[in-house]
Structure 1
């Protein structure tokens, strides 16, 4: 089973793929608006401006005030990089093995255990209130925003209006834009601070605006449902409320690795036995890989070990151990893969091409047993 970015949906920001050797291009930076890539900054676009002018009337008809519209669109504009990322989502695919190598990496597990320890009181209280396992809440936080480290800093009004104007999923993103304006109008957060991923997913738990409207919780009682704050309490409560209201069964595990399971997302790989709570996790992100990632990361945060079953060699005949060795040896030869996690992505492919060119080999960027042998 190959997993693509359309299936990953909102979980992709938090996976932090640019931080590994199998990196995909990052959608946002974490250095504030000034640190955004050039293509995620507003550029002049007269057609977009005309669309916004027409949209203002539609928004007003749905109860958005002129003051809210003025504040929300001040300093915003068309973001070409948002359209590029939206149209290129299906270009990259990952096996379940690669997905889990990132989603449940040693770093993510270690950070998850530390985050759980820091917020144990809140997570335990949320488990008591909503019935959702504390480790599951923490794992969703870990996959969605790397425990709050990667919340996204793309202006949501610019992102959703750009995608609504672009039209490929225009109706959906106009709904998100209206919902984002309601968030501003409600006073949950000033328009200037309403930031998220390139697709408008927001905060610690990467809620899209309509999900925020329906499920966000003011857990701290300060009158604002603040999923953006450095304090993750509202966001974690919102994720728990989301799962509870979508049918989570208190006390029931998500599933487990089982040789007798019927779910085997990657041929030749581990099998899983799942429960109704697995299907509830998929309501958060409709992907078997995502739900397995959340469940397994939750187990690891709780002290469990790695999966027992192994994955088969990839299409190039390489096991994960082979791919890690390939990355290590390329880097040792001066062709840096930016890490050795066994996930073959753009950094590794660039290093392979450079090595092949240096050695007078056919430049393909493709890993192989032959390539590995040449590095021994």
Structure 2
């Protein structure tokens, strides 16, 4: 056998092997069809949990496939622990403190009312706001914010490790839409479904969300009073005691 013929045979074998592997791997069309089948199948579960069938169809009407960004974030999410003070040193700096002082002045009337109603120190709420969304700056980033329904459906369908969590949160997210507090085009959050200025997952939103500004909607995405009051309500309902210190070094 000549070298040239051997090379041709080797190339053909490699091409055939590559093709066989490709046929075993679901391509985009197959993956999308599988996802759409999952969405159709999950509808009954959502309806049994109290979600309107019409709302379910509306929420998924423009969602045709999984969100690859969500799967990449899930795949690369680090699992580690760090000492609390190392974490704080990386997140608390002169600029964040300066912005926090500005926000304390800007939102003082609302912070007064939230403190009076829930008994939670305003500086704790401002610190939560800073840590969770950098005072809302993260919500402006299209590269970070995802469609919550699509994100959670992606995890429920394609991430076995997070599937149970994602299914529960997806039903809760659909129930949020059902309340009318927000519509599906504005229900945004992190890749894992954390929402708004203080990053509440859907189930926590349903338990603790507050309409502080009195406009008839519990809007933690666009209303700073609602977002901060929601965090205060969570703390109060979980045992926060006004005037007590929360920790020490």
Q: TM-score, normalised by structure 2?
A: 0.81
Q: 1:248 aligns with which of 231, 240, 243?
A: 240
The CA RMSD over aligned residues, in Å, is 1.8
Residue aligning to 1:191: 184
3-state DSSP of counterpart to 2:78 = helix
3-state DSSP of counterpart to 2:110 = helix
CA contact (8 A) 1:123 1:138 kept: no
Residue 67 of structure 1 and its aligned partner are, at CA, apart by 1.9
3-state DSSP of counterpart to 1:199 = coil
In the aligned structure 2, how far is the partner of 1:138 from the partner of 1:89? 26
Give matches, 1:1-20, under 5 Å: none
Q: Using a 3 Å threshold, how does the CA distance of structure 1 residues 248 and 95 change in structure 2: closer, same or farther?
A: closer
Residue aligning to 2:50: 63
Residue aligning to 2:68: 80
Q: Deviations over 1:230-283 (max 9, x none)?
A: x31101100000000000011112223xxxxxxxxxxxxxxx1xxxxxxxxxxx
Residue 94 of structure 1 and its aligned partner are, at CA, apart by 4.9
CA contact (8 A) 1:202 1:228 kept: yes
In the aligned structure 2, how far is the partner of 1:141 from the partner of 1:115? 10
Residue aligning to 1:357: none
3-state DSSP of counterpart to 2:36 = helix
Residue 220 of structure 1 and its aligned partner are, at CA, apart by 1.3
Q: 1:225 aligns with which of 210, 218, 221?
A: 218
Q: Deviations over 1:289-344 (max 9, x none)?
A: xxxxxxxxxxxxxxxxxxxxxxxxxxxxxxxxxxxxxxxxxxxxxxxxxxxxxxxx
In the aligned structure 2, how far is the partner of 1:132 from the partner of 1:101? 24
In the aligned structure 1, how far is the partner of 2:95 from the partner of 2:217? 32
In the aligned structure 1, how far is the partner of 2:99 from the partner of 2:201? 25
The gaps in structure 1 that reach 5 residues or longer are 1-42, 257-271, 273-376
The gaps in structure 2 that reach 5 residues or longer are 1-29
Residue 61 of structure 1 and its aligned partner are, at CA, apart by 1.6
Question: Which structure has the greater CA radius of gyration?
Answer: 2
In the aligned structure 2, how far is the partner of 1:251 from the partner of 1:142? 22
Residue aligning to 1:323: none
In the aligned structure 2, how far is the partner of 1:45 from the partner of 1:94? 38
